[in-house]
Chains A and B, each alone.
Chain A
């Protein structure tokens, strides 16, 4: 660990803190339907889209209608991705002549992208045509991100409204998020990325003759436009197999810093949106603080572990940290920071191979995902995930003093707590359940790349990442098999929608309640005690759920590594 390394981490945190409030203000205006500086250009387009699609932007929806609209929207998204993947051989923009993608892989990828997971069982440059990258993947990168944000806004409205039957209009929220937030940032961001060196072309793969006379085929494509949204929308699905470690997806230290910032940007700003909409920005900053504490703890451990290197490297006299599976331009610090950022948020892009991290360094990304990706989290998903934990924490606080708990003016009652528990319990059911199957079913066991406890961690990581809709991997695991394509798809589906529906039920039930003014007995939710309580609840629930599984994977591997064992 070096001083300059810590300075890079501090710089990253400082920029995120500085951007949270201004972007939060802008996004609040967008969700409230107010005029923004982009309205003169975008409002006519927006109105035209509503007219053409038959959307009445003044009509609001009940939470159930809102949720059903969201589900219908995803059925269509699924069909588009599945269709273009199966038909890519006969569709245009296919200069590399990629053949039709297999049924199970297409199914897995379609589920993966509508759930904002972007798990890569496909190898971008070796499997997909440019049309699939654009029409299949880039489009769903936008829409699954916009959906996550819309749902979070609907949930915030549940807290901020009183005695109302509606939580907003899904079609309006998705359209406004796409047009006013995601697209404008992506246009500027894409040009920045191309300037840094990311290709943006529809031309053929390049045939080069190297200095030593060998042939090298260099895959290119419309990369920058996809990388911009895959980071900003915390999607994470790469244009290339190596994702953001590929020099064409992340060419410089500057592009790397900006990519990390863009992963956190919207998720961080959503905490401010929450504060503004419930009428007290300090409520937002308290949630931001909970996330910040957990994030920094993760960064410290991963950076320490990776800078320390592995026992086998020490034995050979190698210093300078664990560089296996890392790029020189990022080095130890930017690779460690990226790994924590991408798993704290539900992005899943990687700029280093997590499979080759040290046991403890790789355990932090795993824990981040198992905590439900509430540390900033996926765009929107992070906030509604965190609000579920807040509901539980407030409930626990209420039990301690024997009062009906309340949060930002709303009573938290049995229905909300049951729904929050349902959403939180469904996640371990998926990743622990499928991991148990994955380590005994013979066809699945054959997919492990590493032996010993590391192989177990590969399987646990895969199902955790899928359930959490993250998409990063211990990529040694061969995921493109019938077993993994189907089981991972089921984990992604349940992890996304079985969390959304209870969250929306909470939103609907809260919106209908009266708002009660704070009294002397109200637990203050803007101070250090509240932050500590929420952090405690997250760690206790998380720890009780997955500590036994971690003990069999990274923890025993760290002990084995210290003892000099190899497998």
Chain B
């Protein structure tokens, strides 16, 4: 048994150096050279300033922007560091609501949000992804139905014809890969950037 001691120490250190340092550092160098944009986090710049990542959702509250999913992310309470406070789309602390199917808190929240959205657009069915929190709290996408639902509000706030906004939604809708894999979706940040570009013209 004693002759197993040396491999137990030396082999562990060698394999640790290979898999824990050489591998991630080499991959960082190679990935940075081949896919520089993705390796840095798919960041989007406007006028020289970073406005976010194409893959990370951000919070939109104004009427003139399309809104994303609800986000249940938290941040430390500035007054009491042992507690947390809601901080939607906190991209330094991802997470979901973890409310279960018989949670009263979830039932109350759903009802309140459904009522709010019904008041905003009484003519369409409320899409389920607009009243539920995402798993990461950073979901960058909404369903095409959820975008469609918000068209009247955004068009009104921007004084644009509904059809033009609908066209923007359509051109920012991504389908399934090969028509099969995944779900159709609209990247909210990309759509809102496209809206801002129309307004700037």
Residue numbers of A with Cβ under 8 A of B are 4, 7-8, 11, 49, 52-55, 65, 68-69, 72-73, 75-77, 80, 123, 125-126, 134-136, 138-139, 141-143, 171, 174-175, 178, 183, 186-187, 190-191, 194-203, 205-212, 214, 216-220, 222, 224-226, 229, 240-242, 245-248, 251-254, 256-257, 309-313, 316-331, 334-335, 350-353, 355-359, 362, 449-454, 457, 474-476, 557, 560-561, 565-567
Taking the complex as formed, is B98 at the interface, i.e. its CB lies under 8 A from any CB of chain A?
Answer: yes
Q: A312 to chain B: which residues have CB within 8 Å?
A: 101, 106-107, 110
Docked CA distance A142–B43 (Å): 30
Q: Restricting to B32-62, which residues have a CB under 8 Å from any CB of A?
A: 32, 34-35, 38-43, 49-62
> Is there an interface contact between B110 and A218, defined as CB atoms closer than 8 Å?
no
Taking the complex as formed, is B120 at the interface, i.e. its CB lies under 8 A from any CB of chain A?
Answer: no
In whole Å, how far is B140's beta carbon from the nearest beta carbon of chain A?
6
Other than the given A139-B20, A320-B129, 12 more pairs (CB < 8 A) read: A135-B21, A142-B20, A175-B15, A199-B42, A217-B92, A220-B41, A222-B28, A254-B182, A328-B185, A359-B100, A359-B102, A450-B100
In whole Å, how far is A301's beta carbon from the nearest beta carbon of chain B?
15
> Is there an interface contact between A316 and B111, defined as CB atoms closer than 8 Å?
yes
Nearest-CB residue, chain A, relative to B53? A218
Nearest-CB residue, chain B, relative to A226? B24
Task: Indicate which residue in B31, B56, B61, B97 contacts A191 across the interface (CB closer than 8 Å).
Answer: B31
> Is there an interface contact between A138 and B99, defined as CB atoms closer than 8 Å?
no
Nearest-CB residue, chain A, relative to B5? A72
Task: Indicate which residue in B43, B90, B114 contacts A208 across the interface (CB closer than 8 Å).
Answer: B43
Once A247-B136, A475-B98 are accepted as A-B contacts, the answer to whether A252 and B104 lie under 8 Å apart by CB is no
In whole Å, how far is A405's beta carbon from the nearest beta carbon of chain B?
34
> Is there an interface contact between A319 and B128, defined as CB atoms closer than 8 Å?
yes
> Is there an interface contact between A211 and B129, defined as CB atoms closer than 8 Å?
no
The size of the chain B interface, using a CB distance under 8 A, is 100
Interface centre among B21, B25, B95, B104 (most CB of A within 10 A): B95
Taking the complex as formed, is B183 at the interface, i.e. its CB lies under 8 A from any CB of chain A?
Answer: yes
Docked CA distance A359–B4 (Å): 49
> Is there an interface contact between A245 and B20, defined as CB atoms closer than 8 Å?
no
Once A134-B20, A321-B128 are accepted as A-B contacts, the answer to whether A211 and B193 lie under 8 Å apart by CB is yes
Q: List 27 A-B contacts (CB under 8 A).
A: A49-B15, A80-B16, A125-B92, A178-B15, A195-B35, A199-B39, A199-B40, A207-B50, A208-B51, A211-B196, A214-B59, A218-B41, A222-B24, A225-B23, A225-B24, A247-B138, A248-B41, A254-B182, A325-B96, A325-B99, A325-B132, A328-B141, A330-B182, A355-B99, A356-B101, A449-B99, A451-B104
Docked CA distance A477–B166 (Å): 42
Tally of A-B Cβ pairs under 8 angstroms: 377
In whole Å, how far is B13's beta carbon from the nearest beta carbon of chain A?
8
> Is there an interface contact between A257 and B126, defined as CB atoms closer than 8 Å?
no
> Is there an interface contact between A240 and B94, defined as CB atoms closer than 8 Å?
yes
Docked CA distance A175–B12 (Å): 10
> Is there an interface contact between B98 and A325, defined as CB atoms closer than 8 Å?
yes
Q: B24 to chain A: which residues have CB within 8 Å?
A: 134, 138, 222, 225-226
Taking the complex as formed, is B143 at the interface, i.e. its CB lies under 8 A from any CB of chain A?
Answer: yes
In whole Å, how far is A150's beta carbon from the nearest beta carbon of chain B?
12
> Is there an interface contact between B40 and A134, defined as CB atoms closer than 8 Å?
no
Docked CA distance A319–B143 (Å): 13
> Is there an interface contact between A73 and B8, defined as CB atoms closer than 8 Å?
yes
Q: B6 to chain A: which residues have CB within 8 Å?
A: 53-54
In whole Å, how far is B88's beta carbon from the nearest beta carbon of chain A?
10
Nearest-CB residue, chain A, relative to B89? A216
Nearest-CB residue, chain B, relative to A353? B96
Once A191-B34, A312-B107, A327-B139 are accepted as A-B contacts, the answer to whether A242 and B114 lie under 8 Å apart by CB is no
> Is there an interface contact between B182 and A253, defined as CB atoms closer than 8 Å?
yes
Task: Indicate which residue in A143, A194, A316, A359 contacts B38 across the interface (CB closer than 8 Å).
Answer: A194
Nearest-CB residue, chain B, relative to A222? B24
Once A211-B193, A330-B183 are accepted as A-B contacts, the answer to whether A323 and B132 lie under 8 Å apart by CB is yes
> Is there an interface contact between A324 and B39, defined as CB atoms closer than 8 Å?
no
Docked CA distance A241–B73 (Å): 10
Docked CA distance A201–B29 (Å): 8
Q: B53 to chain A: which residues have CB within 8 Å?
A: 206, 208, 218, 248
Once A211-B51, A211-B193, A326-B134 are accepted as A-B contacts, the answer to whether A194 and B21 lie under 8 Å apart by CB is no
Which 6 A-B residue pairs are closest in the complex by CB-CB distance? A253-B182, A139-B20, A476-B98, A245-B135, A242-B94, A331-B183
> Is there an interface contact between B185 and A352, defined as CB atoms closer than 8 Å?
no
Nearest-CB residue, chain B, relative to A71? B8
Q: Restricting to B176-194, which residues have a CB under 8 Å from any CB of A?
A: 176-177, 180-183, 185, 189, 192-193
> Is there an interface contact between B56 and A318, defined as CB atoms closer than 8 Å?
no
> Is there an interface contact between B102 and A4, defined as CB atoms closer than 8 Å?
no
Q: A54 to chain B: which residues have CB within 8 Å?
A: 3, 6-7, 10
Q: A567 to chain B: which residues have CB within 8 Å?
A: 102-104
Q: A310 to chain B: which residues have CB within 8 Å?
A: 101
Docked CA distance A55–B7 (Å): 6
> Is there an interface contact between A561 and B101, defined as CB atoms closer than 8 Å?
yes
Task: Indicate which residue in A123, A186, A251, A353 contacts B55 across the interface (CB closer than 8 Å).
Answer: A251
Task: Indicate which residue in A207, A229, A566 contacts B103 across the interface (CB closer than 8 Å).
Answer: A566
Once A198-B38, A323-B129 are accepted as A-B contacts, the answer to whether A246 and B27 lie under 8 Å apart by CB is no
In whole Å, how far is A200's beta carbon from the nearest beta carbon of chain B?
4
In whole Å, how far is A484's beta carbon from the nearest beta carbon of chain B?
15
> Is there an interface contact between B23 and A247, defined as CB atoms closer than 8 Å?
no
> Is there an interface contact between A566 and B23, defined as CB atoms closer than 8 Å?
no
Nearest-CB residue, chain A, relative to B46? A211
Nearest-CB residue, chain B, relative to A312? B107
Nearest-CB residue, chain A, relative to B174? A329
In whole Å, how far is A6's beta carbon from the nearest beta carbon of chain B?
11
In whole Å, how far is A191's beta carbon from the nearest beta carbon of chain B?
6
> Is there an interface contact between A313 and B128, defined as CB atoms closer than 8 Å?
yes
